[in-house]
Amino acid sequence: MPNLYDLPPEIQVTAEGGLRLITLNRPDDLNASSTDMLFAYPKLFRALAEDSEARVAILTGAGRAFSAGGDFQHFVKTLEDSDFARSVQENARRTILSFIDLPIPIIAAVNGPAVGWGATMATLCDIVLMSEKSFMAEPHINIGLVVGDGISVAWPLYTSLLRAKELIFTGDRITPQQAMEYGLANRVVAPEKLMEEARTLAEKLLKQPSQALRETKKIMNSYLHRSAAQVLDTTLGRQLAATLSEEHHSLATAFITQQRRTQKKL
């Protein structure tokens, strides 16, 4: 099947009637988003919004991960180039807002780890199904960075503020059962049944009156819009300051050195 919307090959989009299946396709890198992928996400959401035949989408990852966040080379470039870091923040704004504005329902089929940006993508979807073999984590603070943009917008709405603080401050792994208990996921599914469950749910939504479903989603996502209006600018500004800070550079340089040593041994 052809890849829709002229996106990088690492973001595969296929059509099945009114369903759009979006697959993050870097399985050898645990679907960590490259720079090309990160800058393509606003285009993805705009294209979905403008696709008159699209009515429901499923987002999942190829291989054993949903998404491990941003990839190593993107991380290094952001650390070393302050102008690039600023462009990344502006792209993040466009991405979060275009994700929230997506008029059709999108189901996350979280097949494996969803970390950092991966956890953001999962929990900005409208319905979140998690494999028993998956987990979430928001570890930005562990390397001297401010909470992820979509996490700051969504998690305090979905769970209590106290719970969100604990998960964000510690960066701890969140098991599928915990995610469901905390309000970050709808249900937990056996790994071999995950896509079947997602497709069954998509079929239910495809049978709903299209305009009524779109308008209802718009109403529901007004809560996310209100949250974004309150915190997104502050989050992005403080993310940039943290990215350029000595604390982050010290922690990140140590991390990069360790990663390069590991790669040389492989």
Of the chain, the percentage scoring pLDDT greater than 70 comes to 95
Q: Which residues of 89-111 are buried (b: 16+ CB within 10 A; e: fewer)?
A: bebbbebbbbbbebbbbbbbbbb
Q: Among 78-82, 242-246, 252-256, which is the least confidently predicted range?
A: 252-256
Q: Sorting pLDDT into bands at 50, 70 and 90, what band is 256? A: low
Q: Give the strands of the sheet with 19-24, arranged side by side.
A: 11-16, 19-24, 56-61, 106-110, 127-131, 187-189
- Sketch out the chain's domains with CATH numbers: 4-265 (3.90.226.10)
Query: Which contacts of 221-228 are long-range, i.e. CB under 8 A and separated by 24 or more positions?
Result: 221/100, 221/101, 223/157, 224/100, 224/124, 224/153, 224/154, 224/157, 225/100, 227/153, 227/154, 227/156, 227/157, 228/96, 228/97, 228/100, 228/153
pLDDT digits (tens, 9 = 90+) for 92-130: 999 999 999 999 999 999 999 999 999 999 999 999 999
Q: Kindly report, residue by residue over 134-187, the tens digit of the pLDDT.
A: 999 999 988 888 898 999 999 999 999 999 999 999 999 999 999 999 999 999
Q: What is the pLDDT of residues 190-207, one digit of tens each?
A: 999 999 999 999 999 999
8-state DSSP, 11: E
User: Structure pTM?
Assistant: 0.93
Residue 32 has what pLDDT?
Answer: 94
pLDDT of residue 262: 44
Predicted local distance difference test score (pLDDT) of residue 254: 73
> Where is pLDDT greater, at 81 or 152?
152
* Confidence at 88, pLDDT banded by 50, 70, 90: very high
| Confidence band, pLDDT 50/70/90 cuts, at residue 266 | very low
Tokens at residue 1, please? Answer: 């099947």
pLDDT at 255: 66
Q: Tell me the pLDDT band of 258, cut-offs 50, 70 and 90.
A: low
